[in-house]
Amino acid sequence: MNAADPKIIVALDYQQAEPALAFADRVNPALCRLKVGKELFTAAGPQLVEKLVAKGFDVFLDLKFHDIPNTVAQAVRSAARLGVWMVNVHASGGSKMMRAARDAIDGEANRPLLIAVTVLTSMSGEDLAELGMPEPAVQVPLLARLALDCDMDGVVCSAQEASVLKKLCGADFKLVTPGIRPAGSAAGDQSRIMTPEAAVAAGADYLVIGRPITQSDDPLATLQAIQAGLAAL
């Protein structure tokens, strides 16, 4: 982990390596962390992750593993060996799956933060009802508690749930919050959203921000403006 400990994780949701590397060349590891998710990883693969790690960035490999325990365990071990700083699995994969993932990386030289996704920030209460599940205010704490019991290092949740989860799971349990929207920016497909300032005030440890930065006319200026807003808190 880098000493500056930046809170913002920029989601590099690009279709190829070039724009991701171009973005990385304009920022530095003290300014932000970087997330490689399914879109970029499927296009550019582990080599791109290794390049970002080699440039000194803390990389969140966001592949949201959700499979049988053995498969997820092997996948998170491979992620650890890529040198990433954070990796995630779906809490709804269950306790056996989360524990297998935990055991798989505990003996590794690089031990990334192991984070469980609770309920995707794109999902509303209505979306959960369609699946026969309770509203986010019930389902997110339930999955966060299960993740804590399985020795996860934290969860992905919306910032709307952050204050409740900090009380429920303790100060050391990391809350990683996507669905961050600076005032006035488009929600897009996100449902449970919050501004960067409100998210930090609610107890979010890390803010995952994609399109508001990567699709702005000047991504670096937008990132710096968000940082300045947080510094003023």
Q: Which residues bind ligand OMP (CB under 6 A)?
A: 11, 13, 37, 62, 64, 88, 117, 120-121, 156, 178-179, 188, 190, 208-212
Q: Report, in angstroms and rounded to the nearest whole number, the Rg of the chain calculated over CA atoms.
A: 17
Q: Partners of 33 in the beta sheet?
A: 9
Q: Which two tokens stand for residue 42?
A: 């499927």
Q: Which residue is nearest to ligand OMP (CB)?
A: 210
Instruction: Give least dist CB 88 to ligand OMP, A.
Output: 5
- Residue 62 falls in the annotated catalytic set: yes
Instruction: Give least dist CB 119 to ligand OMP, A.
Output: 7
Question: Could you tell me which residues are annotated as the binding site for substrate?
Answer: 13, 35, 62-71, 121, 181, 190, 210-211
Residue with Cβ nearer ligand OMP (109 or 114): 114
Considering the candidates 7, 51, 55, 67, report the single residue annotated as catalytic: 67
Considering the candidates 64, 103, 127, 166, report the single residue annotated as catalytic: 64
- Residue 64 falls in the annotated catalytic set: yes
- Residue 55 falls in the annotated catalytic set: no
Q: Which amino acid is at 7?
A: K
Instruction: Give least dist CB 107 to ligand OMP, A.
Output: 25
Instruction: Give least dist CB 95 to ligand OMP, A.
Output: 20
Rounded CA-CA distance 157/138 in Å is 12
Residue with Cβ nearer ligand OMP (141 or 212): 212
48's CB contacts (< 8 A; 6+ apart) are 17, 20, 21, 36, 40, 41
Residue with Cβ nearer ligand OMP (9 or 105): 9
60 and 34 in contact (C-beta within 8 Å)?
yes
Rounded CA-CA distance 113/86 in Å is 4
Residue with Cβ nearer ligand OMP (65 or 109): 65
Rounded CA-CA distance 125/169 in Å is 22
Residue with Cβ nearer ligand OMP (45 or 109): 45
Buried b or exposed e, range 189-213, using 16+ CB within 10 angstroms: ebbbbbbbbbbbebbbbbbbbbebb
Rounded CA-CA distance 227/31 in Å is 8
Instruction: Give least dist CB 209 to ligand OMP, A.
Output: 5
Question: Could you tell me which residues are annotated as the binding site?
Answer: 13, 35, 62-71, 121, 181, 190, 210-211
Q: Annotated active-site positions, please?
A: 62, 64, 67
